[in-house]
């Protein structure tokens, strides 16, 4: 799993677009489980605007750099009913490096 890398400076905002997944009978109960590792306080996420019906998954991650550090945000595809990992779907690893001004 090769991470998507982003470098920003303290005080900057960042919007990360996530892959779009069409809603089908196979993805109807799909959810993205988010795990964070590293300097958790260096990048603060904002809530994504409410999109209404038909949008079950987040489409982007929006956040602001607060202090220098590195954070990994790992998104894994899970079945929302059973909680099981969806086979054959590699987790999405996002690395955000926050640098001093």
SS (H, E, C) 56-77: CCCCEEEEEECCCEEEEEEEEE
Q: Which helix (H) or strand (E) holds 34?
A: strand 30-38
Q: What is the mean pLDDT of the chain?
A: 86
DSSP conformational letter for 21: -
Position with higher pLDDT, 98 vs 26:
98
Average pLDDT over residues 8-27: 84
DSSP conformational letter for 39: -
> For residue 43, how far is the Cα from the chain centroid?
12
* Phi, psi angles (nearest 5°) of residue 7: -120, 125
Q: Which helix (H) or strand (E) holds 6?
A: strand 4-9
Residue 90 — pLDDT band, cuts 50, 70, 90?
A: confident
pLDDT at 74: 95
pLDDT at 40: 95
Is residue 55 predicted with pLDDT exceeding 70?
Answer: no
Residue 26 — pLDDT band, cuts 50, 70, 90?
A: low
pTM: 0.82
Map out the domains of the chain as residue ranges.
4-99
CATH architecture of 4-99: Sandwich (2.60)
Is residue 46 predicted with pLDDT exceeding 80?
Answer: yes
């Amino acid at each position: 799993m090769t991470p998507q890398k982003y470098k920003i400076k303290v005080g900057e905002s960042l919007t990360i677009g996530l892959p779009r997944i069409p809603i089908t009978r196979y993805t109807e109960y799909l959810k993205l489980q988010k795990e964070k590792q590293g300097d958790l306080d260096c990048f603060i996420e904002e809530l994504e605007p409410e999109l209404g019906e038909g949008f079950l998954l987040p489409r982007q991650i929006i956040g602001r750099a607060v202090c220098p550090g590195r954070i990994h945000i790992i998104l894994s595809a899970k079945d929302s009913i059973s909680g099981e990992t969806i086979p054959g779907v590699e987790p999405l690893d996002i690395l955000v490096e926050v640098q001093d001004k």
